[in-house]
């Protein structure tokens, strides 16, 4: 199938916008690669320090075996990352069998947004992405590695690792997933218990039992939030092995896929004949493919922040218009919670990413002619891995959906568009995700209630103050104000109001979680209020119109443009739980439209 005209047009627009930055980037990584394996240029003393604890150090000194560096986000508090505890030993065995050596180059922090939701620690969450990129840079700065394996799954971890992989773009990069936990209490049942707790219908014991039954073991949370969107993205962008994203942890197939990832990393170094630097994988076509995957699966809005930052690290400049135009032309092919009742295990069983990639390629909605770690183009990713006699074989994946309530072809989608809309108006520029929002709620016009944090909203709810249609404005939640925390803990409160028959919406310069859904939310509004953006001029009672059909966000108050903005008081977010350490980040972060980043 010829490439769809809009895919071609958006790709050309990105390429033209990035022509200077991408050329400079490619020249940089070419200079870094030109001398061959860097460790060969280290002094004897340098090398002795680097290999002192390795049992197979003589292999590095006396042979041309590739040395693979592991950058790991392992910790055993995050269920998604706990399986990585046993990966280094597994990887060492696989590397030895592949004629390579391997070292854990360094660890990166990995915080859990599920633990910090609604807490001060969430104000460090977005900035942790840049810390991860910096920590990865330190790990790889020893300049002794021919390829890198990146072990990470969750919200900020994969984007941070991608920024690092792009920065060290002369080094081949293979991303190694850990997989989702097995299915527990269905996500919709858990959500109902949360809403009942918010209204006082059940107590904390019932809430705790539901949460523990849902989040119950090792692996990624099973809803389609940011973590699982990251895993999708790595497959659509050719940085995972085909079909590897959603295989459960600690299974024979999962271990075999990890072994295969090591073998592939060893094969694509500059020492062999299949050199594949990460910077050549991460081109404008790969990022377009990633955005297409985001829209077709109904993925997390957090990636609208992360993808521009990731792309900038590779010299590629993305804009909100790219997301909007692709969303308008890419059909929604999946219904996974919160956009449906299924979880990612059900999605995988129904045909998963291989089915989606195959059908999108047939529709001309993906670039097939990209470089991937699998060795060929994106066509390799219609195949799925099978374990036969202890070895991985890739066979043709499902060509027909195995459950059309979860997964449909591009020719018969759940919706004709991806459901992500760019918003523009006198309140600024932002986005809204409507794939889980009922069509009759795509336009909300109601008086504003203005708050400076989410706790104020919950207090007003408990006091019974929401009795009419309302646009809840939560400002001073942008990256410069307090690190742009997710406001996911507002979801049960706003959902209750909506279920009571009120027309409600959220407007904020902050973020909402990838797990948020049915309440219309205009998010990432930029310029942010703390920088004097328009949200700082909104007052209680102003009529706000959120129109996701026409892509507008407007305050209808007649004197709106002439008002003096309210000032932000940074005191509430300046200290406690490490927030003191991130003052420089808040002072220098880029706007949300550019990825809310420090390092790119």
Q: Which residues are annotated as a binding site for [4Fe-4S] cluster?
A: 154, 221
Burial class (CB in 10 A: 0-12, 13-18, 19+), 280: middle
Start-to-end C-alpha separation, the chain: 36
Instruction: Supply angle C-alpha 307, 309, 311, rounded to 5.
Output: 65
Q: 512: which DSSP letter?
A: -
Burial class (CB in 10 A: 0-12, 13-18, 19+), 390: exposed
E-state strands within 164-265: 173-176
Residue 455's closest CA among 118, 86, 128? 118
Helices (H) and strands (E) in the chain, counts: 22, 14
How many whole angstroms separate alpha carbon 104 and alpha carbon 81?
16
- Annotated binding-site members: 154, 221
Collapsed DSSP state (helix, strand, coil) of residue 95: helix
Q: How many CB atoms lie within 10 A of CB 57?
A: 15
Burial class (CB in 10 A: 0-12, 13-18, 19+), 556: exposed
How many whole angstroms separate alpha carbon 173 and alpha carbon 276?
8
E-state strands within 318-442: 383-388, 391-396, 420-425, 428-433
What pairing do the DSSP bridges indicate for beta strands 443-451 and 470-474?
parallel
Contact 121, 577 (CB under 8 A): yes
How many whole angstroms separate alpha carbon 194 and alpha carbon 491?
9
> 488 — alpha (psi -120 to 50), left (phi > 0) or beta?
alpha
Residue 310's closest CA among 222, 369, 239, 219? 239
Q: How many CB atoms lie within 10 A of CB 224?
A: 28
Contact 399, 355 (CB under 8 A): yes
Residue 326's closest CA among 351, 358, 291? 291
């Amino acid at each position: 199938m010829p490439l769809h005209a809009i895919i071609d047009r958006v790709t050309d627009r990105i390429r033209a916008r990035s022509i200077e930055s991408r050329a400079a980037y490619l020249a940089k990584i070419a200079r870094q690669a030109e001398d061959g394996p860097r460790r060969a240029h280290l002094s004897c003393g340098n090398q002795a320090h680097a290999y002192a604890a390795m049992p197979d150090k003589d292999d590095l000194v006396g042979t041309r075996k590739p040395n693979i560096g592991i950058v790991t986000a392992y910790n055993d508090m995050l269920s998604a990352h706990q399986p990585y505890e046993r990966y280094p030993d597994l990887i060492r065995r696989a590397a030895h069998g592949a004629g390579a050596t391997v070292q854990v180059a360094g660890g990166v922090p990995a915080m859990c947004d599920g633990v910090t939701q609604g807490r001060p620690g969430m104000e460090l969450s977005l900035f942790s992405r840049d810390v991860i990129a910096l920590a990865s840079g330190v790990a790889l700065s020893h300049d002794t590695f021919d390829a890198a394996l990146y072990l990470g799954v969750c919200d900020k971890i994969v984007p941070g690792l991608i920024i690092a992989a792009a920065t060290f773009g002369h080094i081949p990069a293979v991303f190694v997933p850990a997989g989702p936990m097995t299915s527990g209490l269905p996500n919709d049942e858990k959500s109902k218990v949360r809403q009942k707790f918010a209204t006082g219908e059940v107590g904390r014991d019932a809430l705790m039992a539901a949460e523990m039954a849902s989040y119950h073991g090792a692996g990624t949370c099973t809803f389609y939030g940011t973590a699982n969107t990251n895993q999708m993205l790595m497959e659509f962008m050719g940085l995972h092995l085909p079909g590897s994203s959603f295989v459960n942890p600690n299974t024979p197939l999962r271990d075999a896929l990890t072994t295969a990832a090591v073998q592939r990393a060893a094969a694509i170094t500059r020492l062999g004949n299949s050199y594949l630097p990460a910077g050549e994988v991460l081109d404008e076509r790969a990022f377009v493919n990633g955005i297409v995957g985001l829209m077709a699966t109904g993925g997390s809005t957090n990636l609208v922040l992360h993808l521009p930052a990731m792309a900038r690290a590779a010299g590629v400049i993305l804009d909100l218009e790219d997301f909007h135009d692709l969303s308008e032309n890419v059909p929604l092919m999946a219904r996974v919670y919160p956009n449906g009742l299924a979880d990612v295990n059900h999605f995988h069983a129904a045909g998963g990413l291989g089915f989606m990639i195959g059908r999108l390629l047939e529709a001309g909605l993906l670039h097939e002619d990209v470089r991937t770690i699998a060795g060929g183009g994106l066509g390799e990713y219609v195949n799925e891995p099978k374990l036969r006699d202890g070895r991985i074989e890739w066979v043709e994946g499902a060509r027909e959906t195995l459950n059309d309530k979860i997964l449909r072809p591009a020719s018969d989608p759940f919706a004709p568009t991806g459901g992500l809309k760019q918003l523009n108006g006198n309140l600024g520029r932002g986005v809204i995700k409507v794939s889980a929002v009922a069509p009759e709620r795509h336009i909300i016009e109601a008086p504003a209630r203005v708050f400076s944090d989410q706790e104020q909203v919950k207090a007003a709810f408990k006091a019974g103050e929401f009795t009419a249609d309302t646009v809840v404005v939560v400002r001073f939640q942008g990256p410069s104000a307090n690190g742009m925390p997710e406001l996911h803990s507002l979801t049960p409160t706003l959902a209750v109001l909506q279920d009571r028959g009120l027309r409600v919406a959220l407007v904020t310069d902050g973020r909402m979680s990838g797990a948020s859904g049915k309440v219309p939310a205009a998010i990432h509004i930029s310029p942010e209020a703390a920088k004097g953006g328009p949200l700082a001029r909104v007052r209680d009672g102003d009529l706000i119109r959120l129109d996701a059909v026409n892509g507008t966000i407007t305050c209808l108050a007649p004197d709106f443009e002439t008002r003096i903005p309210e000032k932000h008081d940074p005191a509430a977010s300046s200290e406690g739980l490490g927030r003191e350490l991130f003052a420089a980040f808040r002072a220098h972060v880029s706007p949300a439209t550019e990825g809310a980043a420090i390092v790119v």
